[in-house]
Amino acid sequence: MQDLHSSSALCINVFDYWRSQTSKDPSIWPILAKALKIPSQNLSILSFEAKLSHAASGKKAFPRKPNLDALIEYKGHQNIDAFGIESKFTEASYDKPSGLKSAYVDEPIF
């Protein structure tokens, strides 16, 4: 994450301000939620480098838990547990872009 081309560092640079502001004043959550176009009720915490299981975790497609650059968690929301953020910075300019693994997109979300 110390590399200049790190997507994780980009995500922290963008969202750390919001993490500090929402921890001081939870009434700021709706502003961030509106900018991200996500539901604003029951938002509780913003964290970085979240390791979460995927339906295909432990299988060939995902031999280890994927890392999300940021995770916004909901507490007591009727339909949503969390909202994940994956940032991309210089990946598009790599010599051989490989795209997303099919396991990311083949699993039904709803």
SS (H, E, C) the chain: CCCCCCHHHHHHHHHHHHHHHHHHCHHHHHHHHHHHCCCCCCEEEEEEEEECCCCCECCCCECCCCEEEEEEEECCCCCCCEEEECCCCCHHHCCCCCCCCHHHHHCCCC
pLDDT above 60 for 110: no
pLDDT above 80 for 74: yes
pLDDT above 80 for 61: no
Q: Specify the pLDDT at position 65.
A: 75
Q: State the pLDDT confidence band at 64, using cuts at 50, 70 and 90.
A: confident
3-30 pLDDT per residue, tens: 666 888 889 999 999 999 999 999 999 9
